[in-house]
Amino acid sequence: MAARALGVSFRQALRSVALTLFPLAFIALFAWATAGSTTGNTSDPVRAAAWLYLGTHLIPIAVPSGKLTLLPLLAVLYPMWAIRRGLPTVEAAFTKLNGARFVYALWYALFSELLALASRYHGVAPNLYLTPLFTFMIAIVATAPFDLKKNRAFYFASYLFAIALGVGSLFFALSLAGHWQVIHSIYIVLAPGAVGGILFAALQLLYLPNFAVAALSYITGIGFSFGAHSVVSGSQIKIGQIPALPFASALPTGVHKDLKFAVAFWLLFFILIFLFIRRTGASVKYFTQYSLNQGARFFVLIMAVAFLSAGELLTRNLNPLGVIWWRFTEYLGVAFLISALLVIYIPALVGRVLHHD
């Protein structure tokens, strides 16, 4: 029985890897064929497919000029879908769900590590330490059961955050529209061609959540970084090297000091969450325990999104690009505590005083 379960999880993990890798291999081979090659070495698109696979799992990659740690957040949804697709077959071979998830994720991480080892070439080296860790965690998250009843507050907070990211995306799109002539000039300089233009546009769409996080941080008064020793916020803009990439056209060109008051958005954000929790009408002790439990999960999500949405873009001069994850989380943590005082503890204290009188 154990041997069969291990065999099933092995095959399904391999299929999940293939389901992600083969379409990326086709894209890499197609791009290589249309771009032309002076060497004619078909191993190049094969390695590129492995790098694309690792990039969809947000694995940092070292390159001769620096590192590539700024990777598209939206791309991770595809391997998560491929992993979850094989879960029912693995579950059927195991008696316990957690055991099935663990073994399945372990095989998946092992295959990904082998790909990372095989793809190291001429200074391009995926991080071998983070590859099994990231792929294992992605597989665990992708196979996690959804328990809406127990985690209603967490899902409600996640929905609100998704809406906030939508607002950030809209702001980013409006900023791009306002600098359309700059974008047009950059595309003329890049001259990616028809196929290259389509792939380049698709890549930028995959980066949209990264841009949305940075835009949301900016419009709520926190700000973000755009390279070494840079600051982009409502009160000041200090930028060094700017890459000739279309998304850079959305950078603000003026100071908007009133944005410092927009940090109150996060106060309202958490007030809504605590009001949602208060609907149960339970005791303050229950509020505290439940809020800490759900809040801890939500802040793990926030820290992961903030950390993974930023990074280095091929050169140290473009590091970090995006939000400073600890600063972003710090602002949200303060708003969380103030909201808890306003919605739960101060009203409870006032009610106790009035009841005592």
CB 48 within 8 A of CB 119: no
Q: Is 227 exposed, middle or buried (0-12, 13-18, 19+ CB in 10 A)?
A: buried
CB neighbour list of residue 340: distance below 8 Å, 6 or more residues apart: 270, 274, 291
H/E element, 138 = helix 130-142
Q: Report the pLDDT value the prediction gives residue 96, as an integer from 0 to 100.
A: 75
Asked whether the CA dihedral 191, 195, 200, 205 is positive or negative, the reply is positive
Structural domain spans, the chain? 2-142, 152-356
Instruction: Give the alpha-carbon dihedral of 50, 204, 142, 88, to 10 degrees.
Output: -70
Residue-wise pLDDT tens digits, 21-60: 998 888 888 777 776 555 556 677 888 889 999 999 999 9
Overall residue count recorded for the chain in this entry: 357
Q: Tell me 315's DSSP state.
A: S
CA 263/CA 270 separation, integer angstroms: 12
CB 303 within 8 A of CB 329: yes
CB neighbour list of residue 59: distance below 8 Å, 6 or more residues apart: 71, 116, 126, 127, 130, 131, 134, 135
CA 332/CA 16 separation, integer angstroms: 36
Share of the chain above pLDDT 70, in %: 91
Reported confidence tier of residue 1, pLDDT bands at 50, 70, 90: low
CA 315/CA 63 separation, integer angstroms: 9
The full DSSP string for 179-218 is: THHHHHHHHHHH--HHHHHHHHHHHHHHTHHHHHHHHHHH
Give bridge partners of residue 321 from the DSSP assignment: 226, 311
Mean pLDDT (whole number) for 122-135: 91
Judge whether residue 298 has pLDDT over 80.
Answer: yes
Q: Report the pLDDT value the prediction gives residue 243, as an integer from 0 to 100.
A: 77
CA 261/CA 219 separation, integer angstroms: 10
Judge whether residue 108 has pLDDT over 60.
Answer: yes
Q: Report the pLDDT value the prediction gives residue 115, as an integer from 0 to 100.
A: 93
Residue-wise pLDDT tens digits, 57-95: 999 999 888 899 999 999 999 999 999 988 888 887 777
CA 318/CA 101 separation, integer angstroms: 38
Q: Mean pLDDT of all residues in the chain?
A: 85
Give bridge partners of residue 226 from the DSSP assignment: 321
CA 69/CA 212 separation, integer angstroms: 17
- Provide the whole-model pTM: 0.89
Nearest to 203 by CA among 313, 125, 344, 89: 313
Mean pLDDT (whole number) for 187-203: 73
CB neighbour list of residue 330: distance below 8 Å, 6 or more residues apart: none
Backbone phi, then psi, for 150, in 5-degree steps?
A: -80, -30
Nearest to 333 by CA among 300, 305, 311: 300
Residue-wise pLDDT tens digits, 300-353: 999 999 999 999 888 888 888 889 999 999 999 999 999 988 887 777 777 677
Residue with tokens 């149960």: 280
CB 137 within 8 A of CB 70: no
Give bridge partners of residue 311 from the DSSP assignment: 321
Q: Report the pLDDT value the prediction gives residue 184, as an integer from 0 to 100.
A: 75
